[in-house]
Structure 1
Amino acid sequence: MTSSSPTESQAATQAPATEAAPAATRAARGRVVNTRPRGRVRAIQAAVVVIVLAAMGLSTEWRDADAPQTTSEAERTFDPAAYGQETFPKVVPLVEKEAQPITELVPALVADADAAGAKFGHREGTSPYSFAATAEGTAGAPNGSLLPLTVEGLPKDTQIWVQVGPAITGTSLRDATGTITFGQFLNQVQYADAGTALNNEVRSQVLKGVTPATLKGKKVTLTGTFTFLTPQVVTLTPVKFEVVP
């Protein structure tokens, strides 16, 4: 019977343990390798959440209730009808205060339009001058929305027309006093709407009850505005219109 030496027995006993150790080490290493990517994913996800929340905070606009309106809000809240009703009563006394007799304005414009404009009129930028004027004359037969007015003391080739509706056009009422400017509005659309709104007030307040077809041959006095384009044609927008009994 052959007996094994202590060294051989120890080697035989230790061999499985030695072989098992690398396997356990490899398994442990495998677990470490597998946990690292998951940790990085969680870190990346957390970072993304932080970035998204930060972006939301930057893009969110917090405004006080009394803060100035944004452009779109101002566009939505501009009410031409309300503007006309509020502004027309303020414009009328200014027109009456600045009004010059048409029999003096037209000759001055014929002599030197720029000088007369600078002295008696108002304009925005390089637009034509607008004026406030008074006139008295004899009405003719209406032509559409215009009433011809024969005024003594004017050049023979000058024709005076008075806007009597229903259509009231132009922006002389807006421009003649110099108190309403483009800078008071958000854009050109609102600026134009303001002029139209004032014209609408002329139709509803000044010309209410006026029947143009019945005015031929009657004496008329008025205060109004006009934009000067040519001395041959002057079209007045009235803020005061009276038929002399």
Structure 2
Amino acid sequence: MASDTRPRSPIRPWHVQVVVLIVVVVAVFFNVKVVSIADATAASPDAFDPASFAVENYETEIVPQIEKEAVPLATLLTDLAGGADEADFGNSSGTASSYSFPVTFSGVAGTPAGGVVPIAVDGVPADVTVQLQVGPALNGTALRDVTGTISFDQFTNQLEYQKVGTELNNQVKATVLDSLDVASLAGKTVTVTGAYTRVNPALVSVVPVKLEVSP
């Protein structure tokens, strides 16, 4: 029987590279572990939690400072209209950002609509609208910015910084607004302490940290 004398194909370098690549891919596949978001969070105990930050700081830091520094709204608006420096009464989140102010006022509530209640406040110019934010959505970051004690530098990124503002608003909903009968406010006198951001001088939209309702 004649022997097979056909020349064998030589092993080329790229053959070896392909085999090595296949071995690596197979090894990686069998060593991959799928981790859920919950497991990843649990594995990172130091991960920042905006909700916990808000709970820890709202009652102990934010509310006491607002109550201590709150300026009568009519007085504040008169001073600002007269050219007073905003920095003398409030704080901002940055050099190009609007100022947030701690304020207090009493007035007669109008008809609730769209998550706000208009308030007629004595001494406030007729061309300025005062409204109380009652939710369910509370807009803005006045509570985060008004004290000047919370800055972007404390957080890893803009998302964390923004979520802190949202979670502080959630504390207002849980502690101030949850038991409020919004539909019954029209015609009643409300006394409010809270904060607002002066984006538009003709609009005062207040997030309350303290709210009392009288007949």
Give yes or no for TM over 0.5: yes
Q: In the TM superposition, what whole-angstrom CA distance separates every residue of 1:159-206 from its partner, at most 9, and x where no partner exists?
A: 101111111110001000101111111110000000000000000101
| Aligned with residue 188 of structure 2, among 209, 218, 233 | 218
Give the distance between the partners of 2:85 and 2:169, measured in 1 at CA. 25
Give the distance between the partners of 2:98 and 2:202, measured in 1 at CA. 15
- SS where residue 198 of structure 1 aligns? helix
Q: In the TM superposition, what whole-angstrom CA distance separates every residue of 1:13-40 from its partner, at most 9, and x where no partner exists?
A: xxxxxxxxxxxxxxxxxxxxxxxxxxxx
Give the distance between the partners of 1:227 and 1:94, measured in 2 at CA. 16
| Aligned with residue 185 of structure 1, among 134, 144, 155 | 155
Question: Is 1:123 paired with 2:101?
Answer: no
For residue 77 of structure 2, what is the aligned residue in structure 1? 106
Q: In the TM superposition, what whole-angstrom CA distance separates every residue of 1:126-158 from its partner, at most 9, and x where no partner exists?
A: 211110000100000001110100001111111
Give the distance between the partners of 2:169 and 2:94, measured in 1 at CA. 22
Percent of paired sites with the same residue: 47
Over aligned residues, Cα RMSD in angstroms?
A: 1.6
For residue 138 of structure 1, what is the aligned residue in structure 2? 108
Give matches, 1:9-88, under 5 Å: 77-88=47-58
- SS where residue 206 of structure 1 aligns? helix
Larger Rg: 1
Identify unmatched segments of 5+ residues in structure 2.
1-43
For residue 207 of structure 1, what is the aligned residue in structure 2? 177
- SS where residue 156 of structure 1 aligns? coil
Give matches, 1:140-179, under 5 Å: 140-179=110-149
Matching residue's letter, 2:65: L
Matching residue's letter, 1:214: S
Give the distance between the partners of 1:203 and 1:183, measured in 2 at CA. 27
Give the distance between the partners of 1:158 and 1:234, measured in 2 at CA. 7
Q: Which has the higher strand share?
A: 2
Give the distance between the partners of 1:215 and 1:205, measured in 2 at CA. 18
Identify unmatched segments of 5+ residues in structure 1.
1-72
TM-score normalised by the chain length of structure 1: 0.67
- How far is 1:124 from its partner? 2.2
Give the distance between the partners of 2:48 and 2:87, measured in 1 at CA. 32
For residue 70 of structure 1, what is the aligned residue in structure 2? none
Give the distance between the partners of 1:233 and 1:174, measured in 2 at CA. 19
Give the distance between the partners of 1:219 and 1:125, measured in 2 at CA. 36
Q: Which has the higher helix share?
A: 1
- SS where residue 77 of structure 1 aligns? coil
Give the distance between the partners of 1:116 and 1:214, measured in 2 at CA. 38
Decide whether the 8 Å contact of 1:206 with 1:238 is kept in 2.
yes
Q: In the TM superposition, what whole-angstrom CA distance separates every residue of 1:15-70 from its partner, at most 9, and x where no partner exists?
A: xxxxxxxxxxxxxxxxxxxxxxxxxxxxxxxxxxxxxxxxxxxxxxxxxxxxxxxx
